[in-house]
Every structure is written in structure tokens, then in C-alpha cells.
Structure 1
Amino acid sequence: MTGLDHSTPSRPVAPNRRGGIAGADASRPRHGRHRIGEGQRQNPRLWQVTPEELSSLLSACLRESIDAGEISLDAADVPATVKVERPKSREHGDWATNVALQLSKKAGMNPREFATVLATRVQDRDGIASVDIAGPGFLNITLDAAAAGELARAIVEAGAEYGRNAVLAGRTVNMEFVSANPTGPLHIGHTRWAALGDSIARLLAASGADVTAEYYINDAGSQMNVFAQSVYNRLHGLPVPEGGYPGAYVQELADQVLTEHPDVRNLTEEAALPVIRESAYRFQLQDIRDTLDAFDVHFDVWFSEKDLHESGAIEDAVARLREQGHIEDRDGAVWLRTTDFGDDKDRVLIRANGEPTYFAADAAYYLSKKDRGFPEKIYLLGADHHGYVGRLKAIAACAGDDPNHNIEILIGQLISVNGAKLSKRAGNIIELKDLVQWLGKDALRYSLARYPADSPITIDPEVLQSRTNDNPVFYVQYAHARTRGAARTAEAAGVDRGAFDAALLTDPTESELLARLGEFPSVVGQAAKLREPHRVARHLELLASAYHSWYAVCRIVPVAGEDGPGEISDLNRTRLWLNEATAQVLANGLALLGVSAPERM
């Protein structure tokens, strides 16, 4: 990034979805209008009013009022989490809660009377500057400037850990996504789930879950035979077999197989096909792995369907489901009565000829996940897999699990890219690796994470390749690069972080920036719970906007005058802390989306 200036870039359209309050160590302080006394200012660690702490404070004040006989409620009536939200207008304070409206009727009180009792107790707590009652009984809470500003130091000291929370602590999750057939390269249809699946896995882990990302390799069944035949035909200069795989990549595989097995052409077709199938499969699977690595998508487990068949897992699954009482032998076939649990029809597990169906493999795979210690199983499926929802949930129920808890199925909508061309290598598809080379990994991943999974996306390459504020990924990455440029300028001017005075961060833009920084852990926790990475992306855009506004009016380096360089004060040093805190949150958020945080642009 060159020529850093104090102009404020226009921001992209503000998101219409808001991250909720969840997670640990999140704070959402805002206005710094109230300074603290000198005695407090010298305190090296002032209390930081985080959303969770404020919620707990409100709960504690409610219980105290009940114990004191001021409010006629049972302790059990106090919600575990008192919801606090950011008011729409800055003049209404930093936080607002409608808990008085929620509980006053049960307490037999007027809402404003209830709010008054609660406000009196909240007002006396450390870090609270004022509590006002608005409307029918809303509590508007304004934080002390120092309590709000302390967040900047806390973020810098937490580093990459800031944003991590305990919303999903104790949860063990298996998340399967992409799972493309190893018969060809990954294409545009897999792109969205690769980006979203990896981001969801990162969010789950950041929110305390023990998550395993898994790729199910469909390396069994008739498609693998057709795949082998396609490569065999290329080796012998024959046309693509009926229903076979076209594209130059098949010739590439044929060349690789020939290099590995120079005598394969001398074998009979019957002898050659197993060799070709195994060799071409390994090369194609490696191509898939390499493509995903380049897209910064990583899996903990690569699970082979072939191994499922060869290990006897399918026969074992049928036996176990029979013990559960949901198997029926009919017309020479073995059926699973999935209609017992809401499926539209029963499903065949073993055909009359003794061959297992794909559904039998699905059942065995589900039981494998259960046996491997995954109480929660998330499946990310494409737009053409709606019919799988009922049958997979029925498998869970037949296996003795709760289909509303032990299995979750996400269905994604299609994406399209304006001007995208079919791959010359693959022949009839748009390859993921071509999209990455064309649009860039960061732009592609960010744009895919920026929208809910259930909404169709049309990507505009001109926008993603532009270096303007209309490009959301550029806008956010530029904010991070600007923080690094500001830090370099500060270092050159002799400004360091040798002092920190949270009470000095009183400018309205500092209040806004601190508020956005404080929201981050809550946004991460909510995005993890809802499986919605777009909440993080949209929050980063709001944070970038707040930073650009702050940067335009609040100087880290003092202004030079006629007498030389301006004197460096604790305000300059404290603002450097705030700059570094912003850099850290932007980097942490981008990392959750698999996007880099550049030092320069």
C-alpha cells in the first residue's frame, strides 16, 4: 500500500443481517463520553464491560432485587442470558435491554417501575456511566469511557485468540463436505461448499467445538468402472465409452498411468482395467487434494467408500439396523422402513441379487461416524440433494439417534460466474483451479462466504478484480493493510505502545470502532451456532468502515508544526494500541474465512 492518506473510502452496502450475542470474552463498548477520575486512570487493569459480562451483571441485579423483595419473581424466572443489543441511535447509549418488558407482567409490575428498580442497581456497578429508562421500559446503558477503551489493550494481548469463545464447548462434530467423485477435477459446483465448509469448520473450532472435517471419497461403484474404461480407451486411442468421461484431463491421467505402468498397454483389457482404475484413481485424488490445498481447504479425514465395502461395514450395518427392528425382507430384497420416521418411501439396502445399494453405503457410513465418536454429524450437500434430507434423517432415527440433534443437513444453492469459460482441460465443466487462477483465492473465498448458503450467487469478476471500495474483499483487506501502514509510520515517527490510557479514547469514531471490535467474539459464536460465515464477512466490512472513519480524524502520529515534529503524547500511544487491536481483529476474522490479511496493497 502506498501513499496512505486520511481520506475515508466509501463503504459497500451495509449488511442487512446482524450478528447476535453469543460466545465468551466478547465486548461491545461504545461511546467514550464519560471520563474517569485520576485514581481510576492509574489502574493498570480496568474492568472491560463485555456483552456476556453485561448480561451476567443484569442477571445478578435481577436476582439481588428478587432477594431484596423489590421484584416479585422466583429466581428460576431470571433468564440465563439477558439479551442486550446495540441501540440504533448512538444517543441512546451503548447497550439496550428489554428485560423489564419481558418480566414485568409476571412480576405484577408496571414495566417502567420494573425498569427503575433494575436501573438503580445497574447504575452502581463499575464500568457503567449511566442507565436511562426509555419508552415503555427499555434500559439504555452507557459505559464508562475507560471500561470501553480497555478492550483495545485486551485484544492486542489476546492476539490470535481474540474472538475464540466457548459457545460450542464440549461438542464433538463431524462435518462432511465437498466429497466429489474422484473421477474428475473439482469444478464450480464444488467451489461453494469447499469455501463454506472450511469456514464453518474454522468457526466451530473457534467456538470451542472438537470438529473433524471429513471428505467422503466415492471410490466404489459403477462410476469407477466407467472411469477406468475412459482412461483405458485413451491409452488405446479409442473413442470415449458410452457414459464415459471426456476432457483432456483423462488423457493426462492416461499418460501418468503409462509412466507408472509402462507395460499396461500390453495387458489384456480384463487385466489392464484394475491396474488403470487404481493408478488413475490415485492420480485424480491427488489432483483434488492439490486443488483444495491451493484453495486453503483442508480435511482431517479422507474416508474411502471402497474401504467401507471391503471391511464388511455394510453387512454389519444391516445386521445392526435389523436388531433395531426397522429391517423388512420383501420381494427377495432387504428394506429399511424409513417411512417409520417420515421418509417418503422405504429404502432398499440389499437388492434381490445380493448387491448393496448406495443407500446401504450411506447407512453404513452414518454408523461409522457414530462408532468413531461423533454425536453430531453435519452433511453439506449440493442443491440437487434435497431428496437426501429425509432419508439421511431416517437413517439416524433407525440407528437409535435423535434426527433433530445427531444429524444436520445443509443444502446449498448454485453459484454462477459471469464470463466464466468451460475448462479446456476438463472439456465440459468450469474447474475450481481455473476459477482460483482467474479470480484469486482470497476474492473467491470471501465472495462465497459473504452470502447465506441457501441464496443463489452470481459472481461479477469485474468487481472482484477491482481495487476499489465496491469490492468487499478489497475493502476489508485494504483496512488491514492500512493498519499496518499506520503502524510503520508510527514506528518511524517514534510512537510506540509504551503507555496506555483507555480514558483518552473519547472521540465518537473511537467509540464506534471499539464497539465493532467488541462485537467480534459474539459474531463468531453466533456464526458458528447458525453455520453462517457470512455474518463474519459482513461484520468485517462494518469494522473496516469504522476503522476508515477513525483513521480520517484521529491521528496516531502528532501533527508537525512550525517548530518541528509534534510532541508525542499518551493519546498517540493509546491510539496505536487501538490501531493494533483493529489489525488483530481484521486478521482473525479473515483467517476464519480462509482469506489472507495483507501487510501492503
Structure 2
Amino acid sequence: MTPADLSRTVLHAVRRAVDEDALRAPVPARVRVERTRPGGSGDYACAVALQLAGPAALPAREVAALLRDRVVGTPGIGRVEITGPGFLNFTLDAAADGHARADRVREVRETGLRYGRVTTEAGRLHRLHHPREVRAAVLAQSVARLLRTQGGQVIVGCAGEPDPAWEELRVRVGPRHGAEGSSEIRPVPAGATAGTLVRRLGCDAALWGLQRPAAHDRAPLAGDLLVQGESNPLFLVRYAHARARALVREGERLGLGPAYEEDVDAPALHTALADHPGVLAAAARHHAPDRVARHLETVADAFFDFHGTTPPLPVGDEKPSAAHRSRLALAEAAGKVLAGGLFMLGIHAPPHV
């Protein structure tokens, strides 16, 4: 169970308590859980009971007890304690957590680019429209892809005649439609045309530069997007994907196929993979492809940390083992998440960088 999973579990407990009329308080938008401080109890702590005590007109420890009763027994949680004035302290079930990580790695490897897709909005039609401006057109296309990951149907229209040069950035605008009943995509303009950006940066770097900043921020579109080094996040994301692919190829050459047989100690990478479906959902809901770009950077950083501390391939006189097969499976899963995220942004994920 990741911190995000635990946060959602506690929030669900709050909603249940409110729905059952056991707790009369507004349901918060999110619940924060933190690593327990040195000397504390359990793996994670949460102060939501103290937050709800005032509105509920109940002692915080009583609120904590209501929530504890509704999270005890949740798969992945071993023990729940109430400490101090009303803190909830959680000790995770290591065995259940390991099974969940194994299932997730297998799911990513099996579903590939479709990992994280759901049918929550099946049948819902979204109409997006945007001005005749390159950044708006690019963001609209990515928002459309994100909405489709949630099961929605999407029509994208342009307020004016589409720029033929948008085709170079893989932007294809469908039938024009009015603004009524539709969502407008209107970011800070790029300040350049599609043709200029493609000639100066190439398609993929231009797409990253247009989408990595939040829509309300200016998009810096300078030559540093082409730097082949760690100062360029796009390079790191694509290099992490290419490196993951290369590890699997080299493993196959050695007769070592990926298979998650033993739990791999790579908490940051496991958490990043687990967060991917939630990132897609939030990015779709908020029409914010920049969230996907930032998440890809997180996945890439976690992958390189894992790669540096726990080599997936045998080193020196090491003999291939189940541990190596499991690390290769995790590396392959990371590569698939990176490829899927880049696809959401319309960017190629080449096997070599």
C-alpha cells in the first residue's frame, strides 16, 4: 500500500462515517498521511481526526476511533493505533504489500500502454474547443487522449480554421462546433507558430516544451529542450525508457527473462508506478497534461535510483537468479509506464536515445 493508497483509504473511511451519520462534518478534499517521525508508532501517521473534531463537535480521539473501525482489516494495513490527542498510526502488512506490488508489476507488463485506463466515464461525451493557436491545439489533443483513458468520448474543435502546420505536431482537429456545452482550452500562447517550433526544436521537443509547464504559465521553448544530458527532463524520461528496453534486451541475450518472482526493494519506483492511474485521472479531470509530464520525471528519477542501487542484470561473477528476473520485470514495467505517459503527450518513446 502506497501513501496515496492509504490516503484514499482514510478518505473513504471519512465518507463512510459521514454517510452513516456517525460523523457530522464536511468531508475534506484529501487526507494527508506522513511517514511516522523517529520514535513514533507505526509506518505512517494521519491527523485528520484532529481536523474533523471541531466541525463534528466530538473529541479528536473519538473521531479517530470512528475512522479506525472503518479502516481496520483493509488489505495492506496490519495495525491501526490511536496515539496522543487523536493521531491515527498505521502499520502496514508487509506480506500483503508485497503481493500488491507483484500484482501491479504483472498488470503493467500485461496491459502495457493501457495501464491506468478505466471506464469511469464510459458513454460520456466531452466537447473541447480551442482558439487558432498552436499551444492550445496541442493541449486540446492531449486532454482528449487523457479523457479517453477514463472511458469518455471526445470531440475537439477549433474556433477558427486549423493551421495546416499543426499536422507536423500530430494535431488533427475534428468537425467545428460551437462553444455551448463545451470546455475551452486556452493556455498562455506559445508566441510562435507550429512550423517555427518544428523547424527549431523538432516535433517531440516542441510538444514537451508546450505541455510541461502548467497551462497558466508561459512555455519556455529554448534550445535547452534539445540538450542530450541530465539537465533536460525530456532527455532523462526518454533515456530511462530506452534504458529499460535495453535491459530487457540484454537480459534476453543472457537467457534471463523478466518475471516478478521476488519482491524488489525499490519503494520510490513502486510508488510511482502505483500512482500512474491516479495521475491520468487527475490530469483528465483538470485538463492538465503537465501533470503527466511531471509524473514521468518522477518515474524516470525513481528508475535511475533503482537502477543504480539494485542492478537488474548480473554484475561480475554473479549468476542469474530470481532476484535479477524480478528486477528486470520491474524495469520493464517502468519502461511501459514511461512509454504510455509519453504517448499521452503525443511524444515518441524510441527504444534508443
CA positional deviation for 1:90? 8.9
Question: Does the 8 Å CA contact 1:174/1:213 hold for their aligned counterparts?
Answer: yes
Q: Secondary structure at the match of 1:515?
A: helix
Structure 1 counterpart of 2:217, from 432, 435, 455: 455
Question: Does the 8 Å CA contact 1:177/1:214 hold for their aligned counterparts?
Answer: yes
Query: Partner of 1:532 in structure 2?
Result: 288
Matched, 1:195 2:168: no
Distance change (3 Å), C-alpha of 1:97 and 1:212: farther
Matched, 1:487 2:262: no
Question: Does the 8 Å CA contact 1:493/1:557 hold for their aligned counterparts?
Answer: no
In structure 2, C-alpha distance between the alignment counterparts of 1:582 and 1:171, rounded to whole Å: 31
Query: Partner of 1:112 in structure 2?
Result: 61
Question: Does the 8 Å CA contact 2:83/2:89 hold for their aligned counterparts?
Answer: yes
Kindly provide the CA deviation profile for residues 529-558 of structure 1, in whole angstroms up to 9, marking residues without a partner as x. 111111111111111111110000112222
Kindly provide the CA deviation profile for residues 292-316 of structure 1, in whole angstroms up to 9, marking residues without a partner as x. 222011223256xxxxxxxxxxxxx
Query: Partner of 1:516 in structure 2?
Result: 272
Pairing of 1:422-571 with structure 2 (within 5 A) = 431-461=193-223, 463-497=224-258, 499-501=259-261, 504-505=263-264, 507=265, 510-561=266-317, 566-571=318-323
Query: Partner of 1:414 in structure 2?
Result: 189
In structure 1, C-alpha distance between the alignment counterparts of 2:27 and 2:49, rounded to whole Å: 15
Query: Partner of 1:100 in structure 2?
Result: 49
Amino acid at match of 2:174: D
In structure 1, C-alpha distance between the alignment counterparts of 2:348 and 2:314, rounded to whole Å: 31
Greater C-alpha Rg: 1
Query: Partner of 1:83 in structure 2?
Result: 30
Amino acid at match of 1:512: A
In structure 1, C-alpha distance between the alignment counterparts of 2:52 and 2:287, rounded to whole Å: 31
Distance change (3 Å), C-alpha of 1:128 and 1:552: same
Query: Partner of 2:115 in structure 1?
Result: 162
In structure 2, C-alpha distance between the alignment counterparts of 1:584 and 1:94, rounded to whole Å: 30
In structure 1, C-alpha distance between the alignment counterparts of 2:2 and 2:320, rounded to whole Å: 27
Matched, 1:205 2:160: no
Question: Does the 8 Å CA contact 1:86/1:94 hold for their aligned counterparts?
Answer: no
CA positional deviation for 1:102? 4.1
CA positional deviation for 1:514? 0.6
CA positional deviation for 1:136? 4.7
In structure 1, C-alpha distance between the alignment counterparts of 2:84 and 2:312, rounded to whole Å: 40
Distance change (3 Å), C-alpha of 1:575 and 1:587: same
Question: Does the 8 Å CA contact 2:241/2:335 hold for their aligned counterparts?
Answer: yes
Distance change (3 Å), C-alpha of 1:199 and 1:90: farther
In structure 2, C-alpha distance between the alignment counterparts of 1:152 and 1:524, rounded to whole Å: 18
Structure with greater contact order relative to length (CA < 8 Å, sep ≥ 6): 1
Question: Does the 8 Å CA contact 1:29/1:50 hold for their aligned counterparts?
Answer: yes
Pairing of 1:311-326 with structure 2 (within 5 A) = none
Question: Does the 8 Å CA contact 1:29/1:94 hold for their aligned counterparts?
Answer: no
Distance change (3 Å), C-alpha of 1:584 and 1:120: same
Kindly provide the CA deviation profile for residues 380-427 of structure 1, in whole angstroms up to 9, marking residues without a partner as x. 3xxxxxxxxxxxxxxxxxxxxxxxxxxxxxx322335xxxxxxxxxxx
Matched, 1:579 2:334: no
Matched, 1:378 2:183: yes
Question: Does the 8 Å CA contact 1:155/1:584 hold for their aligned counterparts?
Answer: yes
Matched, 1:146 2:98: yes
In structure 1, C-alpha distance between the alignment counterparts of 2:43 and 2:194, rounded to whole Å: 44
Query: Partner of 1:127 in structure 2?
Result: 76
CA positional deviation for 1:174? 0.9
CA positional deviation for 1:591? 0.9
Question: Does the 8 Å CA contact 1:167/1:525 hold for their aligned counterparts?
Answer: no
Matched, 1:137 2:86: yes
Distance change (3 Å), C-alpha of 1:457 and 1:434: closer
Question: Does the 8 Å CA contact 2:80/2:89 hold for their aligned counterparts?
Answer: yes
In structure 1, C-alpha distance between the alignment counterparts of 2:27 and 2:245, rounded to whole Å: 41
Distance change (3 Å), C-alpha of 1:446 and 1:142: farther
Q: Secondary structure at the match of 2:283?
A: helix
In structure 1, C-alpha distance between the alignment counterparts of 2:151 and 2:172, rounded to whole Å: 19
Q: How many residues align?
A: 347
Q: Secondary structure at the match of 2:220?
A: strand
Query: Partner of 1:402 in structure 2?
Result: none
Scaled by the length of structure 2, what TM-score is found?
0.84
CA positional deviation for 1:191? 2.1
CA positional deviation for 1:516? 1.0
Question: Does the 8 Å CA contact 2:260/2:329 hold for their aligned counterparts?
Answer: yes
Q: Secondary structure at the match of 2:182?
A: strand
Distance change (3 Å), C-alpha of 1:210 and 1:455: same
Unaligned runs of 5+ in 2: none
Kindly provide the CA deviation profile for residues 141-179 of structure 1, in whole angstroms up to 9, marking residues without a partner as x. 45434144232122222222212235545532111124x
How large is the RMSD of aligned CA atoms in angstroms?
3.3
Amino acid at match of 1:527: A
CA positional deviation for 1:116? 4.5
Query: Partner of 2:170 in structure 1?
Result: 296
Pairing of 1:386-405 with structure 2 (within 5 A) = none
Question: Does the 8 Å CA contact 1:199/1:593 hold for their aligned counterparts?
Answer: yes
Distance change (3 Å), C-alpha of 1:103 and 1:85: closer
In structure 2, C-alpha distance between the alignment counterparts of 1:594 and 1:489, rounded to whole Å: 28
CA positional deviation for 1:95? 6.1
Q: Secondary structure at the match of 1:301?
A: coil
Matched, 1:74 2:33: no
Distance change (3 Å), C-alpha of 1:199 and 1:133: farther
In structure 1, C-alpha distance between the alignment counterparts of 2:285 and 2:37, rounded to whole Å: 28
Amino acid at match of 2:235: F
Query: Partner of 1:176 in structure 2?
Result: 129
Distance change (3 Å), C-alpha of 1:432 and 1:465: same
Range with greater deviation from structure 2 (139-148 or 197-206) = 139-148
Matched, 1:592 2:344: yes
Distance change (3 Å), C-alpha of 1:216 and 1:297: same
CA positional deviation for 1:98? 4.2
Scaled by the length of structure 1, what TM-score is found?
0.52
CA positional deviation for 1:488? 1.2
Unaligned runs of 5+ in 1: 1-27, 31-48, 67-72, 181-189, 219-284, 304-364, 371-375, 381-410, 417-429
In structure 2, C-alpha distance between the alignment counterparts of 1:90 and 1:586, rounded to whole Å: 33
In structure 2, C-alpha distance between the alignment counterparts of 1:79 and 1:481, rounded to whole Å: 47
Amino acid at match of 1:438: R
CA positional deviation for 1:568? 2.5
